[in-house]
């Protein structure tokens, strides 16, 4: 299981606000901090001290910070890529190279004596990682993360995300990507419309964004790009991403029976002999075969509907199903709820034999 993280922007915030945010995130088992130090404006010593104070506080409560930097910062501060002591002194656990070097420098950085992690950019669509790997880096210290995109419509497409992620997953490299809070308005720049990696996530709830990454299973760490997320968002993100089972947020019909509620709360497993019409979880029909499940709402079935087979369905009684297409209802399937509309697309990412849980909104 990967880590979950938050972002802070000390050059644009106050220590007390960031400290309170870190304390809240730690309460929900967040362990990573992303901080942006792409350039230093104003009093250099004062800015550096602000970063040092909050990074050291994060360390004290068990949260590690990776600093986002670019080659220009090396020049501004007179830092050499073969001596990263400045970042160790700040208290950082690693640095993220917003813009990279040639591959040789990155590989050399992973062998630094301070144990700093070196995180590289996954989003460019080049074979950049192949160049780094050809120089034999220390892969235990080589991390990778996608960009976030403050400009609406500029985030990655699903296709590009999958292609670039697959290139990096071909190596033993720890990966990360960003989601966006609906309520955070603080980022590295004055103007931003959310800070997510995938464009399709920009208007979705944090829970659905995180559930998407969790179901895809190709990214290790998920970080909230903007600050400050609400406590409800932090709680939901923790519950979804750190759960052993991928989750789907659903809305239930009123007046369900106790047995129907119990079936919905079970850990489900997508059958391997999959149908194009539905996701079937048969584990519940064995457990509840001796219970009565009276016919209830048996209206025509729509994509995303949650179904429980009732007493009219013989040996299938008690099976949970999720509709992938419209279907006739012959009176043997109770419509007990619906996958939350914004999350219906997640059904396309569930894989046969995978387990899953339903979260009730």
Q: Residues 3-58: pLDDT tens digits?
A: 999 999 998 999 999 999 999 999 999 999 999 987 677 788 888 999 999 999 99
Pairing of β 32-36 and β 278-281: unpaired
Q: Residues 198-223: pLDDT tens digits?
A: 999 999 999 999 999 999 999 999 99
Q: Residues 138-149: pLDDT tens digits?
A: 999 999 999 999
The secondary structure of the chain in percent helix, strand, coil, rounded to multiples of 5, reads 35, 25, 45
Q: If we measure between CA atoms, which residue out of 100, 94, 187 comes closest to residue 149?
A: 187
* b (16+ CB within 10 A) / e for 123-156: beeeebbebbbeeebeeebbbbbbbbbbeeeebb
State which H helix or E strand residue 305 sits in: strand 305-309
C-alpha 159/C-alpha 157 separation (Å) is: 5
Residues 6+ positions from 1 with CB-CB distance below 8 Å = 242, 244
- Three-state DSSP at 35 gives strand
Residues 6+ positions from 328 with CB-CB distance below 8 Å = 300, 301
Q: Which domains does the chain have, with CATH numbers?
A: 4-243 (3.20.20.70), 249-360 (2.40.100.10)
Enter the tokens of residue 182.
């609906």
| Contact indicator for 67, 79 with CB cutoff of 8 Å | no
- Three-state DSSP at 229 gives coil
Q: Residues 235-277: pLDDT tens digits?
A: 999 999 999 999 999 999 999 999 999 999 999 999 999 999 9
């Amino acid at each position: 299981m990967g880590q979950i993280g938050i972002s802070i922007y000390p050059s644009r915030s106050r220590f007390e606000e960031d400290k309170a945010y870190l304390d809240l995130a730690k309460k929900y088992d967040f362990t990573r901090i992303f901080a942006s130090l792409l350039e230093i404006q104003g009093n250099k010593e004062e800015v550096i001290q602000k970063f040092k104070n909050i990074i050291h506080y994060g360390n004290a409560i068990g949260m590690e910070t990776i600093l986002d930097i670019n080659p220009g910062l090396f020049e501004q501060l007179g830092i050499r890529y073969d001596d990263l002591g400045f970042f160790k002194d700040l208290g950082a656990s690693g640095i993220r190279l917003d813009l990279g070097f040639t591959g040789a420098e990155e590989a050399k950085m992973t062998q630094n004596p301070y144990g700093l992690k070196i995180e590289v950019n996954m989003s460019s669509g080049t074979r950049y990682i192949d160049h780094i790997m050809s120089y034999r880096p220390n892969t235990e210290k080589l991390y990778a993360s996608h960009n976030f995109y403050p400009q609406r419509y500029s985030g990655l497409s699903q296709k590009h995300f999958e292609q670039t992620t697959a290139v990096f997953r071909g190596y033993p490299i720890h990966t990360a990507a960003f989601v966006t809070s609906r309520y955070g308005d603080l980022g590295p720049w004055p103007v931003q419309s959310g800070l997510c990696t995938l464009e399709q996530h920009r208007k979705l709830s944090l829970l659905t964004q995180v559930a998407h990454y969790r179901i895809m299973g190709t990214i290790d760490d998920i970080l909230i790009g903007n600050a400050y997320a609400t406590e409800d968002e932090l709680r939901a993100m923790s519950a979804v991403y750190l759960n052993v089972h991928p989750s789907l947020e659903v809305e239930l019909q009123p007046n369900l029976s106790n047995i129907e509620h119990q079936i919905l709360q079970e850990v489900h497993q997508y059958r391997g002999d999959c149908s194009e019409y539905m996701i079937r979880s048969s584990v519940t029909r064995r457990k509840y075969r001796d219970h009565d499940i009276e016919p209830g709402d048996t209206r025509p079935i729509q994509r995303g509907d949650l179904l429980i087979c009732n007493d009219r369905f013989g040996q299938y009684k008690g099976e949970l199903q999720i509709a992938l297409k419209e279907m006739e209802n012959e009176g043997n399937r109770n419509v007990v709820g619906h996958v939350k509309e914004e999350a219906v697309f997640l059904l396309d990412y569930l894989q046969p034999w995978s387990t899953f849980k339903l979260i009730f909104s």
